Amino acid sequence: MSAPLQGMRVLDLSQQLPGPYATLLLAGLGADVTKVEPPAGDASRQLDPQMFAGVNAGKSSVVLDLKSDPDRERLYELVREHDVLVEGFRPGVTERLGCDHPTLQRIRPSLVYCSISGMGRTGPLAAHPTHDISLQAMAGILGGGSEVTRIGVPWVDLATATSAALAITAAWHAGQGCYLDLSMLDAAVAWARAKPSALEPGPEPTYGTLRAADGGRVVIALLEDHQWQRLCRALGWDDWVDDDDLARYTDRRRHGSRIRARLDESVGRLTVPEIVVLAKDFDLSIGPADAADDPASQQQIALRFPGEQSLPLPAALLRPLGPAPALDQHSTGG
């Protein structure tokens, strides 16, 4: 079967993560992606070379200084040959550089133009600089009072990228040029609202990490009522198995601190291997929190990402893409 997006030609003017990951998803589905970089290159070449290599695999690189007339004309030539353009500039920049949607639409009316910004194109904060953690704060994710020094996986960036790739794919298949206005704020607020209870104060009684007797950690992700009963039996909580006050998830949330304290005590008497066996015997969603060294976890990942494949793509999109390009590797000299 041919790749679903075979024949799609994409110009990617974006940098760092949201735009480049969106076009990597498109490339994983068969699109041909040309990365248009400024003379200094995508900033992530220096800020995070490992991330750059992953999210720009298989793309071409062309350097254009859009502040110069000759390079701007070269961009217009490329637009005539491409179906999709992705940009991640702050509002107002594309107009100054002459690569805004109205200008490029006149050159190629069928162009799918995707604009990714932090806050959107209008509003009091539209021009305000932002990153992933800033949008998490606006969406209410960072509430609770604890200090944050890093965010780990930048899920707002990746959510924005995934939404952009989906919208681009739909627009391209529709066969008509259009303007797609996506913001990171959209993704942050939409995903936060998808599960409002996640923002409620207080601990999830049976959801999170726990310390075992041998000093290792386990992660528990147990929400369902039938799993709660199995957990009670596994840990010998006979007094709670049929307790109507704890039978439903909403009830357990009200008693979160009490349940959590007992869970800490019970798990703290067992080693990680003992907990893993218990979880298997009672069919519980509990496993090693430090799963990078867990053989079963690594075997499962290897099945989904076979061989030496390390691209940051869902397994269903994996296909040979080649390495990320060197800066201006595919320029023809204009």
Say how many residues make up the chain. Answer: 334
| Rounded Cα gap, residues 102 and 328, in angstroms | 27
**Do 26 and 10 contact (CB within 8 A), yes or no?**
yes
Helix (H, G, I), strand (E, B) or coil at 84: strand
CB atoms near residue 14 (< 10 Å): 25
Beta bridge partners of 60: 34
| Rounded Cα gap, residues 228 and 310, in angstroms | 37
Parallel, antiparallel or unpaired: strands 207-211 and 9-12 = unpaired
Q: What angle do CA 313, 317, 320 make, to 5 degrees?
A: 90
Kindly name the residue from 157, 239, 243, 251 that is annotated as catalytic. 157
Residue 250 burial by CB count (10 A; 0-12/13-18/19+): exposed, middle or buried?
A: exposed
Residue 12 falls in the annotated catalytic set: no
Q: Which residues are catalytic?
A: 157
